[in-house]
């Protein structure tokens, strides 16, 4: 994403999306164990691809069953204080590299502090659900558009690119949007 921002001068607008709303698996413990193993096998090549093509480090041992709602609401606090990119990068690192749970307010407050946000203000906003409506609106938009996976990118309010893609593919979509007058 950083190289796309530089090569095409795009503006990234982060939005909330919950892959598994509530973090809960909707089946029995046995079904969940089978599903987790299936996901683990499917994720291995994705993690390798992210590492080989984008330099992204991810652990196969990231926490499971995380309800990301508080983290999303925290992202709106970070947005309001011009720290959204830093907060999102720190959340990614916490979950996928350090194995921390993003449904723990202490973890999130620590992340907020690490990127220069005021911990007490962050905690008050998240615990008080100050940005609940904003997150709900993001989730509603994702449903309307048909997003069902991550990452997902929307260009020019017209083109949806889902899944990890090489920068060259994203550049082609941006160029198409420019050619069609959808973006400048």
Please answer whether residues 28 and 65 qualify as being in contact, where contact means their C-beta atoms are separated by less than 8 angstroms: no
110 plus 159 within the same structural domain: no
Rounded to whole angstroms, the Cα distance separating 76 from 74 reads 5
Domain of residue 6: give its range: 1-10+147-184
Give the relative orientation of helices 105-114 and 84-96 as an angle to the nearest 10 degrees: 130
User: pLDDT grade, residue 58 (50/70/90)?
Assistant: confident
CB within 8 Å of 171: residues ≥ 6 apart: 4, 7, 8
pLDDT exceeds cutoff 90 at 101: yes
184 CB burial (10 A radius; 0-12, 13-18, 19+)? exposed
- Looking at 30-39, 50-59, 70-79, 120-129, which range is the least confident one? 50-59
Domains of the chain: total: 2
What's the CATH number where 101 sits?
A: 3.40.30.10
Residue predicted with more confidence, 17 or 4: 17
pLDDT per residue as tens digits for the range 83-93: 999 999 999 99
66 plus 137 within the same structural domain: yes
25 plus 46 within the same structural domain: yes
4 plus 43 within the same structural domain: no
pLDDT of residue 130: 98
pLDDT of residue 86: 96
161 plus 99 within the same structural domain: no
What DSSP line would sit under 117-167, residue for residue? --HHHHHHHHHTTTTHHHHHHHHHHHHHHT--SSSEEEETTTEEEES---H
80 plus 142 within the same structural domain: yes
Structure token pair of residue 84: 């959204």
- Looking at 6-20, 27-41, 115-129, which range is the least confident one? 6-20
102 plus 168 within the same structural domain: no
70 plus 121 within the same structural domain: yes
Rounded to whole angstroms, the Cα distance separating 62 from 68 reads 13
119 plus 137 within the same structural domain: yes
Assign 169 to helix, strand or coil. helix
pLDDT per residue as tens digits for the range 122-173: 999 999 999 999 999 999 999 998 898 888 888 888 898 887 788 888 899 9
57 plus 100 within the same structural domain: yes
- Say what the pTM is: 0.81
Mean pLDDT, the chain, integer: 88
137 plus 164 within the same structural domain: no
């Amino acid at each position: 994403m950083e190289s796309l921002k530089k090569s095409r001068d795009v503006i990234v607008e982060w939005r909330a999306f919950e892959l598994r709303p509530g973090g809960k698996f909707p089946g029995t413990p046995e079904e969940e164990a089978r599903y987790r193993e299936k996901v683990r096998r499917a994720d291995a090549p994705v993690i390798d691809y992210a590492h080989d093509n984008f330099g992204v480090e991810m652990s196969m041992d990231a926490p499971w069953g995380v309800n990301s709602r508080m983290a999303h609401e925290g992202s709106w606090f970070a947005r309001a204080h011009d720290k959204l990119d830093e907060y999102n990068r720190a959340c990614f690192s916490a979950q996928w590299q350090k194995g921390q749970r993003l449904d723990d307010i202490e973890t999130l407050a620590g992340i907020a502090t690490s990127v220069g946000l005021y911990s007490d203000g962050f905690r008050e906003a998240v615990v008080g659900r100050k940005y609940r409506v904003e997150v709900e609106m993001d989730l509603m938009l994702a449903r309307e558009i048909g997003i069902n996976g991550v990452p997902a990118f929307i260009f020019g309010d017209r083109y949806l690119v889902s899944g990890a893609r090489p920068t060259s593919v994203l550049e082609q979509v941006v160029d198409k949007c420019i050619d069609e007058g959808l973006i400048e």
